[in-house]
């Protein structure tokens, strides 16, 4: 499961998700209001916050499909930088 | 009157003449590319003849409407020119158009044939009544067959006055409304725009917009007029926008402000000193100066061209880059061979700096709305010196040199993310949401996003989610507030001033 920082950042890009409602692993982020511009801004925000860089191969709709898929990518990069 | 180009745009050509002329001059130059490949002008011409022959085999004849809800790919460009050769009227609709809206468009346009993505055939058939609905996956093998045989249609005559396209736009009511676009006026608008923009054979135009939107549609025609290549990039992930612009060697990038913001954000992440882009062309809404500066910094050597217009005449004005410093607030000068000026409530022409409604005259003014005589009569009025005068509903003024300045509207229409819409249609969708008793919408303004206010028992986030099920993405507000009671004026209308203070006084 993701850390608090991730959830906090992600929620600011999900205008359709009420604060009291849980963010689940599989909900489509698009259905929660993540649009193209939000996606591009989210990318930059995550890179700054975690000091990581998404590879070109990770810049797909699939990566940004759900909180689960996105965290998987971020976590993968964190592991690479720490190992 | 504005020291404009002396060359003239034609009024008597058909849109496929643009393609045929480009093919005659540069048969082996790249014409159109999409995510899966590229065609030369010679190839695109052959495909368009095959599409014409295929449409003929389907019984499509002169004046018949062919509705297409398709991704913007090479196939759609072939169908556009094929329908033009046939003398048929293409009705391109956005792939994101919701069912209830699409049903209304089908009823209004009465197509003889509908072509959609294979996966959408059963859904669209259910709402299209008796009309034949075909999937592109079954259509294209048949067209390919005809292409292999070098098939052509019967060459039935097509005139410049014949309709080529119906472009559906948002109106002030919820019902869809189409601008009728005859060949001759589309070609005139295309060539007049190109006198200002100057697309060249070495240009690669990166088009992130769908062909269902007139912005994308005219890019197809403009690239033919310029003998340039168009890269159809709608439907690709915006995360790779910058990479695709660089990979394709794009020299011209049409933008709206929100797309420019995205490009700037991506370029900050991945700065580079070299750039092939020579020109960004903006429309849809005013481009904030920091965004324009951001583009010029990220793409050294590029310039940003400001444009202004509406589907009813395609484009009103273009501001050449060399005028931007002298007239930073201007939206440009009228297209060559056209007029744009302001009038008072009685239709009298106003002098420089006097605010009035912006009206437009010239061969680019379309003949009206499809089967909507009242709305047509309101917007397209006879001009004192013959022809039509388009009342844009936009207010502003001109300066001594005839350059236009846009100030705003006095009805409920506005643009958001480049798309024209009205507060009425968003309010109607909001009141359709269970739990909402009443709703009011504030259009966006500098520093303020499009906002919806609802009265009722609903969570503001849920309201946005519900709106996203009823409206195209661009029409979904960025801000949502639920209030106990909507403030009203003494006349019982939404009190927009109080709504505004509500917005400024509360936190999300």
Alpha-carbon torsion (B98, B104, B108, B110), positive or negative? positive
pLDDT in tens, A34-59: 988 899 999 999 999 999 999 988 99
Helix (H, G, I), strand (E, B) or coil at B391: strand
Query: Does B437 reach chain A within 8 Å, measured CB to CB?
Result: no
Query: Does B291 reach chain A within 8 Å, measured CB to CB?
Result: no
Nearest Cα of chain B lies from the Cα of A24 at a distance, in angstroms, of: 16
Give the nearest chain B residue to A39 (CA atoms).
B239
A52-A53-A58 Cα angle (round to 5): 125
Backbone φ and ψ for B372, nearest 5 degrees, come out as -140, 70
Q: Is the pLDDT of residue B53 over 90?
A: yes
Q: In angstroms, rounded to a whole number, what is the distance separating the alpha carbons of residues B196 and B310? A: 17
Query: Does A49 reach chain B within 8 Å, measured CB to CB?
Result: no
* pLDDT band, residue B396 (cuts 50/70/90): very high
Predicted structure pTM score: 0.90
Q: Which fold, B417-505?
A: GMP Synthetase; Chain A, domain 3 (3.30.300)
Query: Does A29 reach chain B within 8 Å, measured CB to CB?
Result: no
Residues in chain A with CB shorter than 8 Å from the CB of B461 are: 15-19, 21, 33
Nearest Cα of chain B lies from the Cα of A77 at a distance, in angstroms, of: 17
Helix (H, G, I), strand (E, B) or coil at B463: helix
Q: Which of A18, A21, A40 faces B238 most closely, judged by CB atoms?
A: A40
Within 476-495 of B, beta carbons closer than 8 Å to A belong to: 476, 478, 480
Domain residue ranges of chain A, discontinuous segments joined by +? 27-82
Classify the complex by whether its ipTM is higher than 0.85, answering yes or no.
Answer: yes
Alpha-carbon torsion (B480, B485, B489, B494), positive or negative? positive
User: Is the CB of B237 less than 8 angstroms away from the CB of A31?
Assistant: no
Q: Is the pLDDT of residue B172 over 70?
A: no
Which CATH code for domain A27-82? 1.10.1200.10
Q: Is the pLDDT of residue B508 over 50?
A: no
Contact of B199 with B226, CB cutoff 8 Å = yes
End-to-end CA gap in chain B: 50
Q: Which fold, B7-182+217-225?
A: Rossmann fold (3.40.50)
Query: Does A62 reach chain B within 8 Å, measured CB to CB?
Result: no
Residues in chain B with CB shorter than 8 Å from the CB of A18 are: 459-462
pLDDT of B394 reads 94
């Amino acid at each position: 499961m993701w850390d608090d920082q991730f959830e906090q950042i992600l929620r600011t890009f999900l205008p359709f998700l009420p604060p009291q409602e849980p963010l689940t692993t599989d909900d489509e982020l698009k259905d929660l209001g993540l649009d193209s511009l939000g996606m591009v801004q989210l990318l930059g925000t995550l890179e700054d916050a975690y000091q990581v860089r998404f590879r070109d191969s990770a810049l797909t709709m699939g990566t940004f499909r759900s909180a689960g898929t996105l965290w998987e990518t971020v976590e993968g990069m964190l592991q690479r930088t720490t190992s | 009157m504005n020291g404009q180009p002396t060359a003239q745009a034609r009024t008597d050509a058909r849109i496929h003449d643009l393609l045929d002329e480009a093919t005659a001059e540069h048969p082996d130059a790249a014409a159109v590319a999409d995510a899966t490949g590229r065609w030369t002008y010679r190839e695109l011409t052959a495909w368009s003849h095959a599409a014409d022959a295929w449409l003929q085999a389907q019984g499509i004849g002169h004046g018949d409407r062919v509705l297409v809800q398709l991704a913007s790919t090479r196939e759609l460009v072939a169908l556009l020119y094929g329908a033009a050769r046939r003398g048929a009227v293409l009705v391109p609709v956005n792939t994101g158009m919701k069912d209830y809206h699409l049903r209304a468009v089908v009823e209004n346009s009465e197509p003889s044939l509908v072509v959609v993505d294979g996966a959408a055939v059963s859904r669209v058939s259910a709402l299209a009544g008796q009309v034949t609905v075909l999937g592109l996956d079954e259509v294209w093998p048949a067209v390919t067959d005809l292409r292999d045989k070098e098939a052509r249609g019967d060459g039935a005559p097509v005139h410049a006055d014949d309709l080529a396209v119906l472009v559906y736009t948002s109106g002030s009511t919820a019902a869809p409304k189409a601008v009728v676009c005859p060949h001759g006026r589309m070609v005139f608008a295309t060539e007049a725009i190109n006198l200002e923009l100057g697309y060249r054979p070495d240009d690669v135009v990166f088009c992130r917009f769908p062909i269902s939107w007139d912005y994308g549609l005219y890019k197809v025609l403009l690239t033919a007029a310029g003998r340039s290549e168009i890269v159809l990039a709608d439907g690709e992930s915006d995360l790779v926008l910058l990479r695709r612009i660089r990979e394709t060697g794009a020299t011209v990038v049409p933008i709206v402000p929100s797309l420019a913001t995205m490009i700037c954000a991506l370029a900050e992440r991945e700065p580079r000193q070299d750039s092939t882009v020579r020109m960004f062309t903006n429309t849809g809404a005013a481009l904030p100066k920091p965004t324009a500066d951001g583009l010029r910094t990220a793409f050294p050597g590029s310039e940003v061209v400001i444009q202004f217009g509406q589907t009813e005449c395609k484009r009103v004005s273009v501001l050449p880059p060399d005028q931007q410093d002298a007239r930073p607030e201007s939206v440009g000068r009228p297209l060559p061979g056209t007029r744009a000026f302001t009038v008072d409530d009685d239709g009298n022409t106003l002098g420089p700096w006097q605010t009035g409604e912006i009206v437009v005259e010239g061969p680019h003014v379309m003949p009206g709305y499809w089967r909507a005589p009242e709305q047509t009569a309101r917007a397209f009025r006879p001009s004192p010196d013959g022809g039509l005068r388009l009342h844009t509903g936009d207010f502003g003024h001109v300066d001594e040199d005839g350059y236009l300045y846009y100030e705003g509207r006095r009805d409920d229409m506005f643009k958001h993310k480049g798309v024209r819409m009205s507060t009425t249609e968003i309010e109607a969708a909001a009141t359709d949401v269970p739990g909402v008793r009443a709703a009011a919408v504030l259009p966006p303004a500098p520093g303020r996003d499009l906002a919806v206010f609802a009265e009722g028992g609903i969570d503001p986030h849920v309201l946005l989610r519900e709106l996203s099920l009823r409206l195209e993405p661009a029409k979904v507000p960025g801000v949502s507030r639920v209030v106990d009671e909507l403030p009203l004026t003494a006349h019982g209308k939404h009190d927009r001033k109080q709504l505004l203070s509500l917005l400024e006084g509360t936190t999300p």
